Amino acid sequence: MSHTWQRGAAAQALHLQLAQRLREQIRLQAMPPGTRLASVRACAREHGVNPQTVVAAYDLLQAQGLVEARARQGFFVRAAPGCATHSGGEAGAARQPGDAPARRAPPPTRAVALLRAVLARGDEAAGARAMPGCGSLPADWLQATPLAQALRRLLREDDSVQAFGCTEGDPRLRAQLARLLAEQDVPAAPSHLLLCNGSTQALDLVARSLLRPGDAVMVERPGPPLAFAQLARQGLCLLPVPRGPQGPDLQQVLHWARTRRPRLMLVSTRLHNPTGGDIATGCAHQLLELAREHDFLIAEDDVYAPLCERGPPLLSAMDGLRRTLLLGSLSQLLAPGWRVGFVAAPDFLAERLRESKLLAGLASPTLTERALALLFERGAVPRQAAALRERLARARRQAVQAARQHGCRFDFPPRGLFGWVDTGVDTEGLALCLHDRGYLIAPGRLFDPEAGPSTRMRLNFAHAQDPAFWREYARALRACAPRPAAQPLRGVNTSELPLA
């Protein structure tokens, strides 16, 4: 078996070791409240132990208040006091009369669990196991030397970096971003730009400035799980729009526009997370026409733009930044820990966003933003972007080959940082199995605003090179594959076994 159990007189009993593993998964919210634990037989088969060992472990978790037994159903993870256990999560989106239960927002704990796992490993030493489910480039791909040089120069020569920053963000960096966007035909002057603590804060400010609890927001399915969790936490109603090879399903957009009158739609034009796809130009034009006709705004998520060699025109360029807001990030390109993102907004929205940022965090960190401006002025940023795209292309070819060799099918042509692959099994169980083996994947359920079961997973090409991961993936896949119903053992009264 792939699991390593400590044995011998000095080791913990096996049921204590198993209980500890399950307890850790519950703590990390890899198994959020309401999750049904595997049956006793399935758990015993997966971990290579006797069924009575599993029963003892489950009984221990129940005694500790972590799980509960339900008659004829099995064992389920209990909610902490005051938390909801329904499928809508702890802060389900506001619902309108007559809504079907499926329109609830997903449980934010799922996205939070992925983030916690990524951040917990972020400071591990080089050589730590890869994380094919994370959303960023490996740390050793990013060049720290230019950043360090820029910081030293500023601290030595520029006293203003120690002063209180301005709410809009560093003027030099906003000027560089305005120039960069102008090259992509986005008419964003520095006054249209607001620097943020990553694109995460950018979306948060947009939602707080433009929406009220109960408002409807259209989101793509699949789409970015952190955005779903953010919007749900603000009491917004998420309306899923299927994402296909051409872009969002326009018939579904029209249906929601007529029946629910959404205020906003979150869309990714290029290198969509998690599929890596782009929006076809014809689809983009029709989407903008629907936004004009039905009076909703479009927040265009362009976080992975630095990794895009070529792509379709941005919606904000086609629209002239009239009914669109552009959300971007530099964190993926230089240093994820620096958390520098931006939002470009029309004139009539820019002041409202500035006020929201002022109330939320007063001002921007001048030192990091000025250092990035200096790197732009030196030409270091485009050089870094070109080097990363070239390295990512090599990694993508290798990862795609390995994935296909292991039976993965790509729903979209592999592009950018992510691939959206069909594994053929429920990836929720696959994720739990691989987590126990030390690897992090992102199951398809995370990327569904209704949190439905899925056989898909998001594959980060930059983290999918390790042959050891694919060996463990193959073992986990076999363990999670559907099995024929087991026949009762002769001479054993199975009804006496307390199976979950």
What share of the chain in percent tops pLDDT 90? 49
- Is 240 within a domain? yes
Task: Return mean pLDDT, the chain.
Answer: 83
Task: Work out the number of other CB atoms within 10 angstroms of the CB of residue 218.
Answer: 25
Q: How confident is the model over 179-192, as pLDDT tens digits?
A: 999 999 999 999 99
Q: Are residues 237 and 294 in the same domain?
A: yes
Give the residue from 241, 291, 287 showing the smallest Cα distance to 263: 291
User: Which helix (H) or strand (E) segment is 443 a member of?
Assistant: strand 442-443
DSSP-derived secondary structure letter, 335: -
* CA dist list (Å): 324 to 56, 367, 437: 57, 30, 44
- Is 126 within a domain? yes
Higher pLDDT, 262 or 46: 262
Give the CATH number of the domain where residue 213 resides: 3.40.640.10
The total of structural domains in the chain comes to: 3
Q: Are residues 30 and 70 in the same domain?
A: yes
Q: Averaged over 138-146, what is the pLDDT?
A: 80
Structure tokens given for 483: 């099995």
Q: Are residues 215 and 181 in the same domain?
A: yes
Q: Please tell me the distance from the alpha carbon of residue 20 to that of residue 5, in angstroms, as a whole number.
A: 12
Statement: residue 103 has pLDDT above 90: no
- Is 96 within a domain? no
- Is 500 within a domain? no
Q: Please tell me the distance from the alpha carbon of residue 154 to that of residue 327, in angstroms, as a whole number.
A: 28
Q: Are residues 362 and 409 in the same domain?
A: no
- Is 227 within a domain? yes
What's the pLDDT score for residue 139? 81
Q: Are residues 192 and 331 in the same domain?
A: yes
Q: Are residues 388 and 309 in the same domain?
A: no
Question: Rounded to two decimals, what is the model's pTM?
Answer: 0.76
State in Å, rounded, how far the first CA of the chain is from the last one.
23
For 458, the 3-state DSSP assignment is strand
Task: Single out the residue in 347, 378, 409 at which a domain terminates.
Answer: 378
Q: Is residue 494 very low, low, confident or very high in pLDDT (cuts 50, 70, 90)? A: very low
Task: Single out the residue in 349, 378, 407 at which a domain terminates.
Answer: 378
Q: Are residues 408 and 315 in the same domain?
A: no
266 Rama class: left (phi>0) / alpha (psi -120 to 50) / beta: beta
Statement: residue 41 has pLDDT above 50: yes
What's the pLDDT score for residue 108? 35
Statement: residue 325 has pLDDT above 80: yes
Give the CATH number of the domain where residue 471 resides: 3.90.1150.10
* Residue 20, domain extent: 14-83
10: buried, middle or exposed (CB in 10 Å: 19+, 13-18, 0-12)? exposed
Q: Are residues 68 and 119 in the same domain?
A: no
Q: Are residues 192 and 273 in the same domain?
A: yes
Phi and psi at residue 480, to the nearest 5°: -90, -10
Q: Are residues 310 and 170 in the same domain?
A: yes
- Is 233 within a domain? yes
| DSSP string for residues in 171-200 | HHHHHHHHHHHHTTT----GGGEEEESHHH
Give the CATH number of the domain where residue 64 resides: 1.10.10.10
- Is 332 within a domain? yes
- Is 42 within a domain? yes
Q: Please tell me the distance from the alpha carbon of residue 358 to that of residue 356, in angstroms, as a whole number.
A: 5
What's the pLDDT score for residue 485? 45
Higher pLDDT, 110 or 407: 407
Q: How confident is the model over 249-301, as pLDDT tens digits?
A: 999 999 999 999 999 999 999 999 999 999 999 999 999 999 999 999 999 99
The answer to which of 95-104, 297-306, 359-368, 482-491 has the lowest mean pLDDT is: 95-104
Higher pLDDT, 370 or 128: 370
Q: Are residues 356 and 398 in the same domain?
A: no
Statement: residue 465 has pLDDT above 50: yes
Q: Are residues 181 and 59 in the same domain?
A: no
The answer to which of 91-100, 252-261, 317-326, 358-367 has the lowest mean pLDDT is: 91-100
